[in-house]
Amino acid sequence: MRISFRDRRALLSSIAAFALTPLLPRAAFALTKSEAESLISQLSKEIFTVINSGKSERSMYRDFEKIFIRYADVPVIARSSLGVARRTATPAQMRSYTSAFQGYVSRKYGKRFREFIGATIDVTRARKTKRGYLVTTKVTFVGDPPFIVEWQVSDASGKKKMFDLIIEGISMLTLERQEIGNMLDRRGGDLNKLISHLKKAG
């Protein structure tokens, strides 16, 4: 059975959920091309190892959450996903939201991963950008031709992190921020209600 682009994007937005930092305003400090390529290669390897592990969904969610924590600045990601709402959030609310968001993205995208057992991803090149490096990968699904996905990597936050994923010109960072914003709007801007929802959603 062929896998549609919609399903492909669901998987890749899942991976993208592990690096949703805001667009960083500063240039990278000392990040090298090989470091950027190595980061994406290792991240991809860990994700696809879990996908093909045969573990239960619950175990996979735990593994994906560990990967999320390892490769992403979760507090920064959470603040970014809230947009302007973060300005009025209390420190306690931000802690609760960050924890809920972290679990939410791990469950939400982990549910789709079983559909992509047997898929592979390979780093092909990296080029320097104003924000660090744009790493290009080739994703291959069983029975379908490969396609290209680009990953933005930077150390402008002080850590070497991936912060965006681009598929056919579409920024997964932007899409995820919009989705959280829509969830908050549907709850009248009540952050506590959003937190409660994220604890169960995904």
pLDDT above 80 for 9: no
pLDDT value at position 68?
87
Among 26-35, 58-67, 121-130, 176-185, the minimum mean pLDDT is found in: 26-35
CA neighbor of 139 nearest in space, from 123, 162, 155, 156 = 123
**CATH architecture label of 5-200:** Roll (3.10)
* Residues whose CB is less than 8 angstroms from the CB of residue 134 and which lie 6 or more positions away in sequence, other chains included: 126, 127, 150, 151, 152, 153
pLDDT value at position 158?
85
Listed by start position, the domains of the chain span 5-200
pLDDT value at position 189?
95
Q: Mean of the pLDDT values across residues 51-74? A: 88
SS3 state at 25? coil
Mind listing the pLDDT tens digit for each residue in 140-180?
Answer: 888 888 888 898 898 877 888 888 888 778 887 788 889 99
Mind listing the pLDDT tens digit for each residue in 118-139?
Answer: 888 899 999 999 889 999 999 8
pTM above 0.85, yes or no: no
Angle between helix 74-82 and helix 91-110 axes, rounded to 10 deg: 100
Q: Are 113 and 59 in contact (CB under 8 A)?
A: no
pLDDT value at position 196?
97
Among 32-36, 61-65, 68-72, 120-124, the minimum mean pLDDT is found in: 68-72
CA neighbor of 125 nearest in space, from 40, 29, 54, 66 = 40
The residue assigned the tokens 């306690």 is 92
